[in-house]
């Protein structure tokens, strides 16, 4: 397939972008501090080489008040601008273009100097902002202008002014956070004055031949957010003030509706950009509009451009997953793209945990200097014959990396398909994207020449003729040994999560799930979702998804909020854990709340501090706390064991006994805290080192 709309250049008058792809701003942590400029240069240069039309950096504060956290990346001096020039030069050397995002976080700042239009604390920061005086507002405006001028001095092709997602400028726009009574509050003209003043004065300061992108919040998804008329008025004002491009944003960070998680349908918000674009076009406003959120394949991107939803597509995480996304699409190699599965596990979750971001499916992202795939010829190493046992994420990452470097690699799996546990993960409603990782690895095995042996359960003697043996045999479910469990299993009343997800064993109308880790939550979502077991409702249609989360037409309902109307659950479910405290505490920082909210909508009963006393034909007997009080029968037809896992490494001992050294990786090495992020990272690192 070719992508005529996606690959079409975009003429901005004073400059031309080579295609319609914007790499959206992402905080990787490389922005903070002074020491990462070389690393950042390599990270962005790789994306420029991959032919992205315009890159936007992570957010830089224009001053201390705008910091996202203490000592966050700031561009406020010529000295800082000089340090940035290593990045702009590296991108330009690869034929790319790059804009700096100016991010003033306002009351979202996780730091004591934060400021806002009014003294109203946000639900996502412990710091109450200082209310700005009029002079204080003027100081912030000047900081924005200075930052844009310094960006130009540093060699950037433009700036993106962050005006959405609930940050500083957005806080002025909305009466929920702007309760001022002076010329910066009250009516909408006053509330949007800050945005207009910044853009007008910025355009004057940087001249006509510098890209200014304004990131405009189209759909706040918070109570008392902007109305559609206000969004339109702002868009008109922004264009008049000199914006080159409008990038459209969805949802404030405090909104309780998922906007980018894997359960959001692909291109799930492009319809809002389309609404805005058609209205502006009808008024003769031709400024290009950029759409974003859950666009992760060239087909989807091409679709939203072809149907007139937008003039350009912003993708952020997909460029962590694959820096060559655009190049592969242009060369007819879209099937080789490593697709972002929107898990957030190594990107956003890392940002919130103050770690450098990376990518679950591509651990080299933002770690290019550290993880290098060096061909054997270049390192003068001998070619080895290597066996990799287990074609789960760890084995796939290791074998393809080893083969890419030039080793002879044989990959064995006892199953008929590659993927290991990912074949269960992709059954979960909202995790369909995990299939893309398997598609990617299947193609990669072909390209790198790994010799794949499926339906081959190997034993130690099979592995004697190899120079190196890697055991990536994964895990086996933990047996919680509840009294009566074996009898229940014989009756078909007790199942493992593998019986449910892989073997599709029948499940009754009332179910108790033993264990509330990632898998317990996933199985609960799978069993609660009508039709999931038949596999036909796995891809939720976008209108149904919007109804479920309460997303309405912003023309009819302010900020796009309506009453959520979740579908009735397929069955009654108890989700249980032994420890006290909130269920799902160990789930991802940026996605755990979504899983909890989804299960609440499906009326799943979450019980903590439970002791499993016995399983009888009537159901599961539980008691509570150390004292084992309140013994109670949970009358359920089926009990599903999701009680964690143990490493499966039965081949290790016989191989060692035969004098062979083995490398353990993924679940085979350590099952505790195992996830695909660790499995792929370990596989890749080992693949680079042998
Ligand atoms: P596995 O995936 O377990 O693969 C091991 C492979 O080895 C299997 O294919 C097996 O057939 C093969 N094998 C074993 N013994 C032999 C032998 N003797 N000979 C040949 N082959 C053998 N992780 C996340 O990060 N995010 C998620 O959202 C997520 N969701 C999940 C949802 C579900 C429902 C499940 C079950 C898991 C989920 N995981 C998730 C966990 C993730 O899938 C695992 O951490 C990951 O698959 C572990 O990779 P691995 O390569 O170590 O092992
Ligand atoms: P897990 O997260 O370790 O959870 C295991 C659950 O079983 C816990 O709730 C634990 O809670 C319970 N448990 C442990 N030992 C038990 C016992 N002897 N008897 C009864 N209950 C017991 O493991 P998992 O759910 O199997 O997931 C495996 C890995 O896959 C995880 O590390 C996870 O990161 C990954 N995964 C991630 C996602 C994701 O969305 N990111 C989704 C699925 C899986 P108590 O001890 O309190 O009972
Ligand atoms: Fe996408 Fe997950 Fe990688 Fe983040 S970690 S870029 S969400 S695949």
Render pLDDT for 66-106 as a digit per residue (tens, 0 to 9): 999 999 999 999 999 999 999 999 999 999 999 999 999 99
User: What pLDDT sits at residue 539?
Assistant: 62
Give residue-wise pLDDT tens across range 597-619. Answer: 999 999 999 999 999 999 999 99
* Active-site annotation holder among 108, 110, 156, 167: 167
| Count of helices and strands (H, E) across the chain | 23, 27
281 CB contacts (<8 Å, ≥6 apart)?
A: none
How far is Cα 97 from Cα 89, in angstroms, rounded to an integer? 10
Whether ligand 2 lies within 6 angstroms of the CB of 674 is answered as yes
Give the per-residue SS3 of 103-122: CCCHHHCCCCCCEECCCCCC
Contact between 470 and 689 (Cβ < 8 Å): no
Going from the Cα of 261 to the center of ligand 3, the distance in angstroms, rounded, reads 10
Q: Tell me which residue has its CA closest to atom 2 in ligand 3.
A: 343
Residue 450's closest CA among 459, 442, 458?
442
Ligand 2 atom at minimal distance to the Cα of residue 579: 47
Going from the Cα of 321 to the center of ligand 3, the distance in angstroms, rounded, reads 6
262 CB contacts (<8 Å, ≥6 apart)?
A: 341, 342, 343, 344, 430, 431, 433, 591
Burial 488-505 (b: 16+ CB within 10 A, else e): bbeeebbbbbbbbbeeee
Give residue-wise pLDDT tens across range 115-153. Answer: 999 999 999 999 999 999 999 999 999 999 999 999 999
How far is Cα 535 from Cα 517, in angstroms, rounded to an integer? 23
Residue 213's closest CA among 67, 312, 114, 295?
312
Ligand 2 atom at minimal distance to the Cα of residue 608: 47
Whether ligand 2 lies within 6 angstroms of the CB of 604 is answered as no
Going from the Cα of 180 to the center of ligand 2, the distance in angstroms, rounded, reads 49
Q: Tell me which residue has its CA closest to atom 21 in ligand 2.
A: 643
Ligand 3 atom at minimal distance to the Cα of residue 342: 7
Angle among Cα 353, 359, 365 to the nearest 5 degrees reads: 105
Give, as one character, the DSSP assignment of residue 645: E
Q: Which ligand is nearest the CA of 477, by number?
A: 2
Residues in the chain, how many? Answer: 690
Going from the Cα of 608 to the center of ligand 2, the distance in angstroms, rounded, reads 14
User: What pLDDT sits at residue 332?
Assistant: 96
Could you tell me the CA-to-CA distances from 296 to 76, 270, 313, 433 in Å, in that order?
Answer: 34, 13, 10, 10
Instruction: Kindly list the structural domains of the chain, giving each domain's residue range(s) and its CATH number in brackets, ordered by start.
Output: 10-352 (3.20.20.70), 376-476+646-689 (3.40.50.720), 479-529+569-643 (3.50.50.60)
Instruction: Give the tokens for residue 257.
Output: 């509706």
Exposed / middle / buried, residue 64 (Cβ in 10 Å: 0-12, 13-18, 19+) = middle
Give, as one character, the DSSP assignment of residue 325: H
User: What pLDDT sits at residue 646?
Assistant: 93
User: What pLDDT sits at residue 538?
Assistant: 52
Instruction: Give the tokens for residue 578.
Output: 């032994």
SS3 348: helix
Instruction: Give the tokens for residue 502.
Output: 């892989």
Average model confidence (pLDDT) across the chain: 96
Which residue out of 259, 260, 316, 343 has the highest number of ligand 3 atoms within 8 Å of its CB and is therefore the one to mutate?
Answer: 343
How far is Cα 411 from Cα 488, in angstroms, rounded to an integer? 37
Q: With 90 as the cut, is the pLDDT of residue 15 above it?
A: yes
User: What pLDDT sits at residue 537?
Assistant: 52
Whether ligand 2 lies within 6 angstroms of the CB of 518 is answered as yes
Whether ligand 3 lies within 6 angstroms of the CB of 345 is answered as yes
Exposed / middle / buried, residue 35 (Cβ in 10 Å: 0-12, 13-18, 19+) = exposed
283 CB contacts (<8 Å, ≥6 apart)?
A: 236
Going from the Cα of 123 to the center of ligand 1, the distance in angstroms, rounded, reads 37
How far is Cα 391 from Cα 318, in angstroms, rounded to an integer? 24
Handedness of CA 355, 587, 519, 580 (dihedral sign): positive
Give me the mean pLDDT over the 511-538 stretch: 88
Contact between 23 and 50 (Cβ < 8 Å): no
The pTM score is 0.96
Residues with CB under 6 A from ligand 1: 343, 345, 389-395, 412-415, 420-422, 424-425, 428, 457-458, 472-475, 501, 518-519, 522, 648, 651, 666-667, 674-677, 679
Could you tell me the CA-to-CA distances from 391 to 317, 412, 414, 422 in Å, in that order?
Answer: 25, 7, 9, 10
Could you tell me the CA-to-CA distances from 230 to 173, 235, 281, 555 in Å, in that order?
Answer: 9, 9, 17, 10
Question: DSSP readout, 52-73?
Answer: -SEEEEEEEBSSGGG-SSTT--
User: What pLDDT sits at residue 674?
Assistant: 82
User: What pLDDT sits at residue 1?
Assistant: 63
Q: Tell me which residue has its CA closest to atom 15 in ligand 1.
A: 473
For residue 167, indicate whether it is catalytic: yes
Whether ligand 3 lies within 6 angstroms of the CB of 341 is answered as yes
Q: Which ligand is nearest the CA of 264, by number?
A: 3
């Amino acid at each position: 397939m070719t992508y005529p709309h996606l690959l079409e250049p975009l003429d901005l008058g004073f400059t031309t972008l080579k295609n319609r792809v914007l790499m959206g701003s992402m905080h990787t942590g490389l922005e903070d501090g002074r020491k990462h400029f070389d690393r950042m240069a390599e990270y962005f240069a790789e994306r420029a080489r991959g032919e992205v039309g315009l890159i936007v950096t992570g957010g830089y504060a224009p001053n201390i008040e705008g910091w996202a956290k203490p000592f966050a990346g700031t561009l406020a001096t010529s000295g800082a601008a000089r340090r940035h020039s290593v990045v702009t030069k590296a991108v330009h050397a690869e034929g790319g273009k790059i804009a700096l995002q100016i991010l003033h976080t306002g009351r979202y700042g996780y730091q004591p100097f934060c400021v806002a239009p009014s003294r109203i604390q946000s639900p996502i920061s412990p710091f109450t902002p200082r209310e700005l005086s009029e002079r204080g507002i003027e100081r912030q405006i000047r900081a924005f202008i200075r930052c844009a001028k310094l960006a130009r001095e540093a060699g950037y092709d433009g700036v993106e002014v962050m005006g959405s997602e609930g940050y500083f400028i957005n806080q002025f726009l909305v009466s929920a956070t702007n309760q001022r009574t002076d010329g910066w509050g009250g009516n909408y003209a006053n509330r949007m004055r800050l945005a207009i003043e910044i853009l007008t004065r910025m355009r004057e300061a940087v001249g006509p031949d510098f890209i200014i992108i304004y990131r405009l919040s189209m759909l706040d998804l918070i109570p008392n957010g902007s109305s559609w008329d206000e969004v339109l008025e702002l868009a008109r004002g922004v264009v008049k003030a000199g914006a080159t491009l409008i990038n459209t944003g969805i949802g404030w960070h405090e909104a309780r509706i998922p906007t980018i998680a894997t359960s959001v349908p692909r291109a799930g918000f492009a319809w809002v950009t389309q609404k805005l674009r058609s209205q502006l076009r009808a008024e003769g406003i031709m400024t290009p509009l950029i759409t974003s959120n859950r666009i992760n394949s060239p087909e989807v991107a091409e679709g939203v451009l072809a149907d007139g939803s937008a003039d350009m597509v912003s993708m952020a995480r997909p460029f962590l997953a694959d820096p060559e996304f655009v190049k592969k699409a242009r060369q007819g190699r879209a099937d080789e793209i490593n697709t972002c599965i929107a898990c957030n596990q190594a990107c956003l979750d890392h940002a919130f945990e103050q770690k450098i971001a990376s990518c679950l499916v591509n651990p080299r992202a933002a770690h290019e200097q550290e993880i290098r795939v060096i061909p054997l010829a270049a390192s003068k190493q001998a070619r080895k014959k290597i066996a990799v046992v287990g074609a789960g994420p760890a084995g796939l990452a290791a074998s393809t990396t080893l083969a890419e470097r030039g080793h002879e690699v044989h990959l064995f799996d006892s199953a008929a398909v590659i993927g290991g546990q990912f074949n269960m993960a992709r059954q979960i409603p909202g995790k369909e994207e995990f299939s893309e990782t398997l598609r990617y690895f299947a193609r990669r095995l072909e390209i790198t020449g790994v010799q794949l042996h499926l339906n081959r359960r190997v034993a130690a003697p099979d592995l004697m003729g190899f120079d190196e043996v890697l055991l990536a045999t994964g895990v086996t479910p933990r047996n919680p040994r509840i009294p009566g469990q074996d009898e229940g299993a014989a009756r078909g009343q007790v199942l493992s999560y593998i019986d449910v997800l892989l073997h599709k064993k029948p499940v009754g109308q009332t179910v108790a799930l033993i264990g509330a880790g990632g898998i317990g939550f996933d199985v609960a979502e799978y069993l609660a979702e009508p039709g999931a077991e038949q596999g036909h409702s796995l891809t939720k249609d976008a209108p149904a998804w919007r109804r479920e989360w309460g997303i309405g037409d912003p023309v009819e309902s302010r900020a796009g909020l309506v009453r959520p109307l979740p579908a009735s659950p397929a069955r009654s479910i108890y989700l249980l854990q032994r420890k006290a405290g909130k269920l799902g505490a160990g789930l991802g920082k940026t996605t755990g709340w979504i899983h909890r909210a989804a299960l609440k909508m499906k009326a799943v009963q979450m019980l903590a501090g439970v002791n499993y006393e016995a399983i009888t034909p009537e159901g599961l007997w539980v008691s509570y706390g150390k004292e084992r009080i309140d013994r109670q029968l949970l009358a359920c037809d089926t009990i599903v064991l999701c009680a964690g896992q143990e490493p499966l490494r039965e081949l290790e001992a016989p191989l060692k006994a035969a004098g062979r050294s083995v490398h353990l990786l993924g679940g085979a090495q350590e099952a505790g805290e195992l996830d695909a992020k660790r499995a792929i990272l370990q596989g890749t690192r080992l693949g680079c080192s042998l």
